[in-house]
Amino acid sequence: MIRIEGLRKTYHSRGRDVVAVDGVDLTVPQGEIFGVLGQSGAGKSTLLRCVNLLERPDAGTVVVDGVDLTALREKQLRAARRRVGMVHQHFALLASRTAAGNVAFPLEVTGMSRADRARRVAELLDLVGLGDRASAYPAQLSGGQKQRVGIARALAAGPQVLLSDEATSALDPETTRSILDLLLDLNRRLGLTILLITHEMDVVKRVCHSAAVMRDGRFVESGQVAELLRRPDSELARGLFPLPPAEPRPGETVVDVTLSGDTADEPILAGLARRFDLDVRILNGAVETLAATRAGRLRLALPGSAAETAPALAHLRERGVLVTEAGR
């Protein structure tokens, strides 16, 4: 579990202050995957580096598995950091070491015997699906394979918590999917708590139970993905399911409906046709399986004026469907 309260970090550079993290509160329960989404410069990397205290925050506390890391001295902190694995965007592997040598690296300072180390490294490489590439050097591995080595190395000391710094942004879409599937699998099998930063909506969609949108050092919204999808003003919901503009026909009322959880699998349009004798057109949209819920957004055109379609829309709302004005 990760609990962050009141985190702030300001950099002083060339005579001016840059507030990179401006009062962030965040809780990631044990076994959950939390994604922080934001554009370049939002403060995501600084936030992540403050979680394992690679960067010391100016204010706030960072508690990982019940230990307040901000209260520790350097020596205790080095030991406590083993509770936190880190996966890097550009893998950060040692070119002169094999895959096995890279995974063994963090174990060498723990005093583990050579035989135990070899056993543990083989186990970790198997876990990430690279059991047969133990003696390959990074230059002989694909990007996805390098990231698998990076993940195995991050897990070497048996952390409960994994931090992922844009782990897939240097990878092609198919490899990205396979690495995200691996993170999801590790989360489920090991009960691993994962805090990841990303600028890609797809990453949030595929693996995150909860997420935050970060801008100018602050969280502008944060919560479980399923819950954010039920908020009419959620930026994340709009980003996860963008709806391109669509031209209605004369006499139609156009609305956006957001479905999450049970409503995503109910035949809501058939219900409208039956109960209200309405032939609804789907202008665009999608319903998908996300990490923790089924969800989607549709832009619908209903025949009739706003007043004429109001009972049908009220019926949808009663069933738990979020109905908003198109494009809002």
Q: Which of 7, 24, 33, 46 binds ligand ATP (CB under 6 A)?
A: 46
Cα separations in angstroms, 256 against 156, 197, 281, 284: 47, 29, 12, 10
Compute the distance between CA of residue 294 and CA of residue 231 in angstroms, rounded to an integer.
16
Compute the distance between CA of residue 82 and CA of residue 71 in angstroms, rounded to an integer.
16
Structure tokens at 106: 């963090």
**Region binding ligand ATP by CB under 6 A among candidate stretches 38-46, 80-88, 175-183, 237-245:** 38-46
Q: Which of 6, 29, 30, 41 binds ligand ATP (CB under 6 A)?
A: 41
Q: Does 17 bind ligand ATP (CB under 6 A)?
A: no
Structure tokens at 65: 């598995």
Q: Which of 42, 103, 141, 226 binds ligand ATP (CB under 6 A)?
A: 42
**Region binding ligand ATP by CB under 6 A among candidate stretches 41-49, 69-77, 96-104, 310-318:** 41-49
Q: Which is nearer to ligand ATP, 40 or 96 (CB)?
A: 40
Q: Which of 40, 74, 115, 318 binds ligand ATP (CB under 6 A)?
A: 40
| DSSP-based three-state secondary structure for 13 | strand
- What is the phi/psi pair of residue 297, to 5°? -135, 140
Q: Which of 1, 18, 118, 287 binds ligand ATP (CB under 6 A)?
A: 18
Beta bridge partners of 4: 26, 62
Q: Does 44 bind ligand ATP (CB under 6 A)?
A: yes
**Region binding ligand ATP by CB under 6 A among candidate stretches 25-33, 44-52, 75-83, 288-296:** 44-52
Q: Which of 2, 20, 141, 180 binds ligand ATP (CB under 6 A)?
A: 20
Q: Which is nearer to ligand ATP, 152 or 213 (CB)?
A: 213
Spell out where the chain has E strands.
2-13, 16-28, 33-37, 59-64, 67-68, 84-87, 161-165, 193-198, 210-215, 218-224, 252-260, 281-289, 294-303, 322-325
Positions in the binding site for ligand ATP (CB under 6 A): 11, 13, 18, 20, 38, 40-46
